[in-house]
Each structure stands twice: as C-alpha cells, then as structure tokens.
Structure 1
C-alpha cells in the first residue's frame, strides 16, 4: 500500500474525531475520539487488507491500530510479530481487540498463551490469562484447573488492575463452566472480595465472581 493510502485512511479517521466520543473513551483509558460503530463501518468499506493493516499499526495511532485489527488477516501474523504487537499494545481497547480478534484466531495462540501467562509485565500476563480463560471455556482438556485456582487465590488480590481483571474472569469462567470446581471458585471469590464493590449498571451482571458465577449458572439452568 502507498503512503497516500495510509494518509487517506488517517484523514478519514481524523474526520470521524468526536470530542464526546473521546471523553467517553478516555474515561476507559483509550486515547482516541472515534465512535466504534463508525470505525467498524469504515473497516467494512476497506475490507481485509493485511498490508494496510500492518502500516496502520505502525503509525502508533490508537484509532488506526483499532482499524488495523478489524481489516487484518489474523492467521497471517507470525508468532514473534504478535508478541511484539502485544507488548506495544498499552491502550486497553487495542490490547483487548488484539487478543480477542487476532491472537485467538492465530495458529500460535497456545504458544503465546504459555509465553505470556507468566510474563513479569502484568499487562502482557493479562493477555496470557485471557487466552487461558478462552481455553477454560472452550478447550479445557490439558489444563490443571486446581492449579489455576491456586494461583488465583494466591495472587489475584494484589495483582495490578488489568491482570486482576483477567484473573477474576478466569476464576468466574472456571466456576461457571466446571461444576466440580464451582464451590472452590465461589469460596475464593467470597474470601478475596475482588471487584465486590464495582459499580455495575442496571441489567448488567456484576464482575464480582460469586455474583457472576451464580447469575450465569442460573441462566444455564433456566
């Protein structure tokens, strides 16, 4: 892709800049002002363009990186390329989309999960936990769920925010999907009280694990 194409896309993103959207996004740590619905509409127009996606990512601009993740081919990235991208992805929404939209669909996902899970950087480790939660839900074979609960019990309370959130999601997923471990998952959640007071909008499920687990299990049984 030529630089003018990248410049053209950046100009389109700049034209979509909305101060109200920026204010909302910045409250969540995301430094861009593009409405995500409009960003997705632009991605739909551009369709899949792997080379353009790589160039947009290289700009370092948050909106451009989010767009890149929507128009890329997830399986086209090399393992080391995704590792480098993840370590650059400090903006929460970029990190979240990279893990969920790209890494999970890449052949190196399990290798990266193992590499990131114990990484000393808590933001990188949170990606490892997110991939682990995906396996807890969809491919639990080979995972030691008791050991995961041991780690969560020992480390979640004092973990930095992003890592704590990812560990808490894993705790809830174990409790929701694996009845044999549900009582212990509930017990850990009740004892640690992580996210117990998290402000939850009406009609949304609290991220506090005991409430989350109980609510989701009751829906499954309804």
Structure 2
C-alpha cells in the first residue's frame, strides 16, 4: 500500500501514472500550467493531513453548481483523497473540505460511459454527491478506484465492527451498573468490569 505524506510525493506518483497525453479541444492537459494546478491541489491535500495520516490514493472529479450571485452554472473541480484514516473531498477552487470515515462509506460505483462516480454513503455530505469524473483522466480514475476499493471495503467492515463493539460494551456496563446499584456487586467489582470492557 502506498504511503504518501507530501505534495511532492503525490505529484510524482501522478506524473508517473497519469493517462497518456490527450487533447480536448484547445486544452492539452500535459502542459505545465495544468501541472501547476495539480501541484496546488496536492499542497491543499498535504495541508489537511493529520500528523499520523498518509495518502494511499486520489483522483479528481467535478461537481456542477449554480451560482446565484452571478446567475451562472459552473463545474467546480474537487480532489478526492483516500488516507489510512478517512476520505477527504477538497474543492480545488474555494478550498472547502469535507471528510467522511470509512464506516460511512459502503461503496463507490464508477460508470465510465456516463463519467459518473457514485459514493454510497450514509446521509449527505458536501463534495460527495453528483460527482462527474475528470474526462482527461478516466483511465487513471478507474485504475485508482480498482486498487483502493478492497481497502475501502476492509476498512468499512473494520469500522463497523468497532462501532458494534462500542455499543455492546456500553450495554454491558449498564448491566453491571444496575448490579452495583442493587448491591449485588461492589463498587470495586463494577470498576474492574468497566475497565475490562473498555480495554483500559
């Protein structure tokens, strides 16, 4: 599994694995001006990383928005960062950031023919709905998702087991508290059971 901490590491990985040079109309995404944009996106990602966090994968997407102030439509570019702890969606244009835990993410479905990416998550979260894949990097996106999805599913199951364990432990502690209240066990026995259940 990759462990990228710095913008330079992410940029080097992207340059090595990005799709072959493709032209879309007048735009050649291999030009230095586009590389500067990418570098800026990775600097944002590095800024939002926690001290014990590292990046394992990433890709870009666009979200269509309607801007009321100027009565215009606009596609805003987002970068999706998969780390060892969570998934971040960072808007590359207004620097907004959202993140979700792996417990909330059930699956990611990528439909290349419609260039749509569907995040199957509990509830709504800014940056994770109605995402369009970046046309210039469809192969890169598809490859990255194929590699990271097993990790996402593993982390989802792990987080869900952890949540169930916390709920189960809380229920057990309540039962022992009732026994203590009823005088069936001592305060010392209750504290010992509580420590054991909380793994302290």
Asked whether the two chains share a fold, i.e. TM above 0.5, the reply is no
Report which of the two has the higher share of helix. Answer: 1
In our comparison, the structure showing a higher alpha carbon Rg is: 2
**Higher relative contact order (CA closer than 8 Å, sequence separation 6+):** 2
Report which of the two has the higher share of strand. Answer: 2
TM-score (norm 1): 0.26
